[in-house]
Amino acid sequence: MDIMKDFKEDIAIVTVNGKMDAVNAGQYQEAIEVLLNDGATKFAVDLSGLQYISSAGLRSILMGGKLIASKSGTQVICGLSGMVKEVFDVSGFSTMFSVVETQQDALVQLGG
């Protein structure tokens, strides 16, 4: 799994590529923690490059969302497709989080 962090104005863009499983899922949560500690409060989480997500990956997304909420932050997830979209739909994560189609949609929703 590869996690890229970038900013557009005051919005942290977190792009996740590859496979998120038990071996590497904690890296996502760590990336969110670092950004929160640096003062980020708006997160566009782009999963368009994510090919696979396990239950450990879902847990990491959930914990990241809780961390963001605990700092009065906002998270918008975008780019779900294929198996990852199916897992989000079946698990209920699609309704638990704000989910939009594209990164641009996420930026607009976050006020960017």
Instruction: Tell me the longest C-alpha to C-alpha distance in the chain.
Output: 34
- Complete domains list, the chain, with CATH: 2-109 (3.30.750.24)
Q: Quick one: how far is CA 31 from the chain centroid?
A: 10
pLDDT at residue 23, rounded to an integer: 97
Entry pTM: 0.96
What DSSP string describes 49-102? EEEEE-HHHHHHHHHHHHHHHHTT-EEEEE---HHHHHHHHHHTHHHHSEEESS
- C-beta of residue 16 within 8 angstroms of C-beta of residue 48: no
112 residues of the chain, pLDDT tens digit each? 999 999 999 999 999 999 999 999 999 999 999 999 999 999 999 999 999 999 999 999 999 999 999 999 999 999 999 999 999 999 999 999 999 999 999 999 999 7
pLDDT at residue 112, rounded to an integer: 78
